[in-house]
Amino acid sequence: MNESAARVAVILAVTLTVVLETVAVALTLGVGALDQALIYAVYAIVQVLAGAAVVWSHPRHRVGWLLVVSSLFTTTFTDALLAYGKQAALHGWPAAAPAQVVALSGWMVAALGLVLLFLWFPDGRVRGPGRWIPWVGALGALLGLPGWALNPRLSPEFAGHVNPYAASATWTEALFLCGTALVVAALLASVVVFVLRFRSSEGVEHLQLKWMAFAAAAVAVVLPISAVLWTVWPPVQLLAAAALTLLPVATSVAILRYHLYDVDLIVSRTVAYAAITGLLAATYAAVVVLAGAALSSPMAAAVGALVVAVAFRPVRDRVQETVDRRFRRARYETRRVMADFVDALRRGVASVDDLEDQLRAAVGEPTCTVAFDTGTEGWLDIHGQPVTDDVRRRVPTTIATSAHLAPVVVHPPGAERLVLEALDAGRLAFEIAALQAGLRRQVDELDASRARVVAVADQERRRLARDLHDGAQQRLVTIGLSLRHVQHTLDGSAPEAIHDLDEAVTELAHAIDDLRELAGGLRPSSLDHGLRAALDDLASRTPSPVRLDVTTERFTPEIETAAYFIAAEGLTNAVKHARAQRIDLAVAHDAGQLVVAIDDDGMGGADLRRGTGLVGLADRARSHGGTLEITSRPGAGTSLRATLPCA
Amino acid sequence: MRVIIAEDQALLRDGLARLFTDKGHAVAATLGSTDGLMELVATTSPDLVVLDIRMPPSYTDEGVTAARLLKLDRPDLGVLLLSQHIETANAADLVAWPAFGYLLKDRVFEVDEFVEAAERVAGGGSALDPKVVAAMVGSRRGAGKLDLLSDRERDVLGLMAEGLTNAGIADRLSLSPRTVEAHVSHLLTKLDIDDSDTAHRRVLAVLSYLNSDTSP
């Protein structure tokens, strides 16, 4: 059947059900129990609507049609026909007796609907040994139907209290019992199939079956209670009707997956409130009875109310926790995992870096991602790194806070509730992680800014060195030449002036030497020819013998400068502080890293924490994303190793 | 002696030219870069070309490149490189040439020594800046035989490397020529260098010894 035909059909079915039930209620006036008629009407209409909702979006769904058809059946052959039959008997309308006998025995067929519902739910297919169950039920109905319809026991239900079709009590009773036994057996078997299916199911199907199980359990609990209290306390009839309507409603909700994931919450709330209500009612009754012995009755009632009021909050918490442990395993586990983690953090035996793993374990979703919202600069991950946009586009859940670095959890759909539980139970862990992520972000920014400062400084040094060489020094040489020329032109005529010019030129030579040294300290011009040339030059000026093993490869000016100054400071240290006799200086390109290694045979004992020279080297290495390690035991020489990324 | 000067700074260029003319040499031409240098050398046939190392367009090693080209073309032409600072990387493969000099610019202050060195280069000899020599000797230290030399012998070796003759060394160190000869003979023996007949070949042997990467 196509979609539009199915929709027309269910609209007709719903309309027919509503009209027939209205007629049934109207016809019941004066001949039967109006309240029961109303309850049946509501149940039938709810059921047909639930079925219609399923068929509307799944036109071929058997369970949807089952609900619609069985609702229509009950409405027509039980409710409407019974009301008509009774009115007909009263007013002498035709077919009063057949209408009544059909209506009164129709429940046996209706019970088959329940069998099919348990077998077919949730996808309309029967699995395993369930296939024969409907046939058993049908056989039972086939036997039981005449057994009940022709049974003299049915007489009191008729208007006039006589079953006009009554036959032999013996064989009708036998047929009835036989048929009923088969129908009940089929019903029980279908429930067993349902339970087996529930226990072996997982994922979405498990949740769907859980909805159904919840409704069935509610019916199983409420119906016996209301049967006992039916006449004692009439409002319980409403409760029974409500419980019955739960079945079709739960069926529809489960199939349409509407609020599918809330089943645990609903189960736990229902059980908890039922338990609390029972406990508090019992407490109230006990207090009133006990206090009534000593106090006046209004006083006893007041004391009872007071006790109940005081006990409410703690009782609710305890009951909720107990219920959660049993019925909302997921929520309980989630909160427990997060609470344990926070506790481990407090005791210092866990690292907040594990937060994401813990959250994934707690929620049971291995794809959960934790991030922190900076507000203006996007999200940071737990390590303080910016989060990519494709993660941000997934469905998020946030802690309800506008604070800086508010935790954000990215998770698959359907996990919202558990994630919120985890966020709540692990609030402290999330706050620490947020602070840490923010701090790491700042450290990264500081590193980057330090690298920029060093790079700018190196560039500036290079410019200054060049300016000194090509500007000031050249000018001084020119001036010296001019002075020598003046001296030459004087040609011995003014000995004093010639002497003064000599001194001036000597001073100029010193000035040039000073400038040369200054410029060399800023940035050795030998670096223009690469590290090898510059370090050759440097080693030649080092008083202790230096064994060189330097790559001839070229690198970026920044890296070469950094490596040069690290080597220079290392050599100076080796000579000055360690009084080394022999120094090995090696510079090699190794897997994207430029490694500068300086080993000496000096007195050792160098410490990164003491002496600004070594700290400066470490800073320089770090500013290029590198590292500096020093091994220096007293008397065992010093080994300095700087690693600079140069890929 | 006919000299061509290539130096990009005009005042310094003029100063150098004046220095040579003051000492009675002829300045055949002056240039601000190495452009047209080869043609000028061909037309004016100078005895010496004085080259600044850093010149336009890149201000890195234009002078070195020009010196190589000149030497390929005219091995006997004297070439004197001037530099603001010493870079051994530049000097490495040049110092072993005959008629070649490499000096710091401020050596011009000692006018007589400077012109002497220039004349030596023009005459086919060497003139290496003491700083170049020191760098070469320094980088060889700890590598073997140089450690065998006495301090005095090392001084003598340095002056030999600068291109000085025995007489020049005696003069510079205020020693008698015989003493210098003794030092020279000793240090050459220690370094396993033949005591060649000409001063120039001896210098080359010393330089190539200092400059070689493979000798112990």
CA angle A372, A376, A380 (to 5 degrees): 25
pLDDT of residue A589: 92
Segment 145-174 of chain B within 8 Å of chain A by CB? none
Residues present in chain A in total: 647
Residues of A in contact with B135 (CB under 8 A): 536-537, 540-541
Q: DSSP assignment, residue A387?
A: P
The C-alpha R_g of chain B, in whole angstroms, comes to 17
A10 and A68 Cβ atoms separated by less than 8 Å: yes
Q: Is the distance from CB of A465 to CB of A522 less than 8 angstroms?
A: yes
Write out pLDDT tens, residues A355-392: 999 999 888 888 888 888 887 778 888 888 888 777 76
* Residue showing tokens 């639930």: A50
What does the H/E/C string look like for A104-121? HHCHHHHHHHHHHHHHHC
- By the 8 A CB rule, do B207 and B161 touch? yes
CA A23 from chain center: how many Å? 52
pLDDT of residue A309: 82
Q: Among partner residues B12, B15, B89, which is closest to A526 by beta-carbon distance?
A: B89
d(CA B154, CA B141): 11
Angstrom distances, CA of residue B133 to CA of B83, B109, B210: 15, 19, 9
| Residues whose CB is less than 8 angstroms from the CB of residue A408 and which lie 6 or more positions away in sequence, other chains included | A370, A371, A372, A373, A379, A396, A397, A398
Query: Which residues from chain B sit within 8 angstroms of residue A541, using beta carbons?
Result: 135, 138
Contact B37, B49 (CB under 8 A): yes
Under an 8 A CB cutoff, do B136 and A540 touch?
A: yes
Residue A313 Cα distances to A268, A276, A284, A309, angstroms: 17, 10, 15, 8
- The rounded distance, in Å, linking the Cα atoms of A410 and A392 is 8
Gap between the Cα atoms of A269 and A323, Å rounded? 9
Angstroms from B178 CA to nearest CA on chain A: 31
Residues paired with residue A638 on neighbouring β-strands, in sequence order: A632
- Residue stretches of chain A with pLDDT short of 50: none
d(CA B64, CA B54): 9
Dist. CA A288–CA B120, nearest whole Å? 129
Q: What is the pLDDT of residue B153?
A: 86
Residue type, A561: T
Whole-complex ipTM? 0.83
Joined together, the tokens standing for residue A438 give 């923010």
Partners of A530 on chain B (C-beta within 8 Å) are: 89
What pairs with residue A598 in β-bridges?
Answer: A585, A640
CA distances from A46 to A17, A223, A370, B123 (A): 10, 18, 43, 121
Question: Cα separation of A516 and B89, whole Å?
Answer: 18
* pLDDT, one tens digit for every residue, chain B (216 residues): 999 999 998 989 999 999 999 999 999 999 999 999 999 999 999 999 999 988 888 888 889 899 999 988 898 999 999 988 776 666 667 777 788 999 999 899 999 989 999 999 999 888 888 877 777 766 555 456 777 788 888 888 888 888 888 888 898 889 998 999 888 888 888 877 776 656 666 776 677 667 654 333
Q: Does B15 touch chain A (CB under 8 A)?
A: yes
Positive or negative: CA dihedral A600, A603, A608, A613: negative
Q: How many CB atoms lie within 10 A of CB B82?
A: 26
Q: Which residues pair with B31 in a beta bridge?
A: B6
Nearest residue to B68 (alpha-carbon basis) of B57, B59, B79, B58: B79
- The answer to whether A112 touches A185, Cβ cutoff 8 Å, is no
Sign of CA dihedral A524, A530, A535, A540: negative
B87 to chain A, any CB pair closer than 8 A? The answer is yes
DSSP label at residue A379: E
Q: Is A546 within 8 Å of B85 when comparing Cβ atoms?
A: no
User: A515: closest CA among A585, A445, A575, A466?
Assistant: A466
CA A13 to chain centre: 43
Omega cis (within 30) before A59 = no
- Give A-chain residues touching B12 at CB under 8 angstroms: 474, 477-478, 481
- Provide the 8-state DSSP code for A580: -
In chain A, which residue's Cα lies nearest the Cα of B134? A540
pLDDT of residue B172: 87
